[in-house]
Amino acid sequence: MNRDQLKKCVGQTLRLQPQAIGPQGEPRDDDWTVKLNPDDDEVVLRQVGSGMDVVVGFDHVHSYMSDRARGKTHGFLQMLSQVRIAADGTISAVPLPPRQTGIVRPVFNPLAVNDGTADRYLTWSSRDPEHLITHEGQARQLYGTYTDVCDALRTATGREPQFERANDIRHEIVWELTADHESKHKLLGGMDTNAGTAVLVLTDKPAKPPQRPKPTATSTPPVIGAVAYSGEEAILYVENTGGDAVFSADAQIVQVSGGNTIGHPAPYRIRWRSVENHKVVNGHEVTIPSAGRVKLVLARWESGGDWGKPALVIVGDQWAVDRYRHDPFEKPSPIVTISVMVKSVPAAQHGAVTKRCSVYIPANTIKLVVVEDKSSGEPIRD
C-alpha cells in the first residue's frame, strides 16, 4: 500500500485483520490509529487506550476497507504481518507466511490437546480467525476422548463446554484443525462406540475447577454394580476396589424403544449421590476412597402432578436430561438404553469402565424405575 493511499487512513479509527494477538495467544479486536513518518516509508500503528506504538513499513499493509457499520471515520487495515502484544504492553509485527497461491494467511494459535493417542488442535472464533479457513471437512466423533477433550477446554478457558443440536447452535463452535491449518472439522458428541450428532461448543458459563489429585500410581479397575432400585430412582453403585481415586462419569442415551426419538443425543454428565444420606455430591468429580462407593442416579419416576402424565426422567448433573411419558399406564414406559462411562484418576488399570443399562417404568406401576444391566461389565480401553 503506497503513501497516498495510507494518507486516507490518518484520522481514522481502525481495526486490524488479522486481529492482533495478546500475551496468551488470544485475539485482540482493539482499535488502532495510523501516523505516517514524513521522511521514511514507515507507518506508526498506535493502539487506542494503551498508547503503545509499533512501526512497520508500507509493505506490511495490504489494503484499507471502510467500516461503515461503525461510521465514516472507521475502517479496517488488511495486514501482511501479524501484530503481537507482549505481557509488558510492547508491540511487534511479524510477517505472515504466504500460502502456495501467494495469498497471505493469518497465524493460528490453536489449543493442543493430547487425547491419549495423539495431539489434537482445537480453536474457536474468539481465539483464532477460524472463519478464514474456507474448507470444512467431515465432522469427527469424540467417542472415548470426550471427557479428556472437554476437561482440557475447561482448564484452558475457564468456560463450560457443552453439545448443541446442529440446527440450533447458540455458542462458539469448537473446531478441530488439521496440522497445516488448511481444514477445520466440527466435533460431535459420540461416546463409547455410539456416534453422536450434537456439536461441541464453548458456552459463557464458568467451568467447574478441576479437583483431581496428582496421579501417583495406577489403581485397579473400579467395580460397577447395576442395582434395580425399588423406588423412584434407577441407580448404579460405583465401588472403588483400588487406592484412593477421583472418579468422573459421563453418559449418553443410545436407544429408545417403540420408535421414540432420542430427545438428548449428546453425552452428558451424571449426578453423584452419597450412599449414606442420599445427598447430592457437588461437581462432576468425586473422591472415592479405597473400598468406598457412591451412587450414580440414572433416572427417576415423575408423577406429572394432578392432571399430568407420569414420566420416566433421565437424570444428569443439571437434573433433567430428557423425559419419556408413561402413557398408557397399562403398558411399560419406553425402554431407554444408556451408555455410562466411568473414569478415575489415578487411571484404572484397563482404562475406562463402560456399562449399558436399560431403564423403564413397568406397567401399572408408580414410584418405581427398573434398571437392567445389558453389558458384560468388563473394563474396556479408551
Looking up cell 487495515 gives 77
Asked whether residue 139 falls in the same domain as residue 200, the answer is yes
Asked whether residue 7 falls in the same domain as residue 144, the answer is no
What are the pLDDT digits (tens) for 258-295? 888 888 888 888 878 888 777 777 667 788 877 888 88
Asked whether residue 186 falls in the same domain as residue 241, the answer is no
Query: Nearest-CA neighbor of 173 among 207, 140, 148?
Result: 140
Asked whether residue 200 falls in the same domain as residue 227, the answer is no
Which structural domain range is residue 275 located in? 223-373
Asked whether residue 270 falls in the same domain as residue 361, the answer is yes
What are the pLDDT digits (tens) for 210-221? 544 444 445 566
C-alpha torsion angle, residues 341, 346, 348, 353 (rounded to 10) = -10
Q: Which three cell numbers stand for residue 208?
A: 467447574
Higher pLDDT, 14 or 274: 14
Higher pLDDT, 276 or 126: 126
Residue 381: pLDDT band with limits 50, 70, 90: very low
Spatial neighbors of 44 by CB under 8 A, at least 6 apart, are 34, 35, 36, 37, 53, 54, 55
What is residue 230's predicted lDDT score, i.e. its pLDDT?
63
What's the burial of 36, exposed, middle or buried (CB within 10 Å: 0-12/13-18/19+)? middle
Q: Is the pLDDT of residue 234 over 50?
A: yes
Asked whether residue 46 falls in the same domain as residue 70, the answer is yes
How many domains would you assign to the chain? 3
What is the three-class DSSP state of 277? coil
Distances, alpha carbon 109 to alpha carbons 14, 84, 161, 265, 286, in Å: 23, 12, 19, 31, 33
CB 235 within 8 Å of CB 298: yes
Domain assignment present for residue 118? The answer is yes
What is residue 219's predicted lDDT score, i.e. its pLDDT?
55
Distances, alpha carbon 382 to alpha carbons 141, 154, 196, 353, in Å: 13, 20, 17, 9
d(CA 336, CA 8): 66
Spatial neighbors of 381 by CB under 8 A, at least 6 apart, are 350, 351, 352
CB 143 within 8 Å of CB 150: no
Asked whether residue 116 falls in the same domain as residue 87, the answer is no
Q: What mean pLDDT is reported for the chain?
A: 81
What CATH number should be reported for the domain holding residue 313?
2.60.40
Distances, alpha carbon 139 to alpha carbons 5, 175, 203, in Å: 43, 9, 20
Asked whether residue 14 falls in the same domain as residue 66, the answer is yes
Q: What is the pLDDT averaged over residues 24-47?
A: 83
Asked whether residue 311 falls in the same domain as residue 261, the answer is yes
Asked whether residue 131 falls in the same domain as residue 264, the answer is no
Asked whether residue 58 falls in the same domain as residue 115, the answer is no
What are the pLDDT digits (tens) for 169-183? 889 999 999 888 888
Q: Is the pLDDT of residue 81 over 80?
A: yes
Q: What is the pLDDT averaged over residues 316-322?
A: 81
**What does pTM read for this prediction?**
0.53
CB 371 within 8 Å of CB 236: yes
Asked whether residue 87 falls in the same domain as residue 200, the answer is no
Spatial neighbors of 128 by CB under 8 A, at least 6 apart, are 27, 106, 108, 109, 110
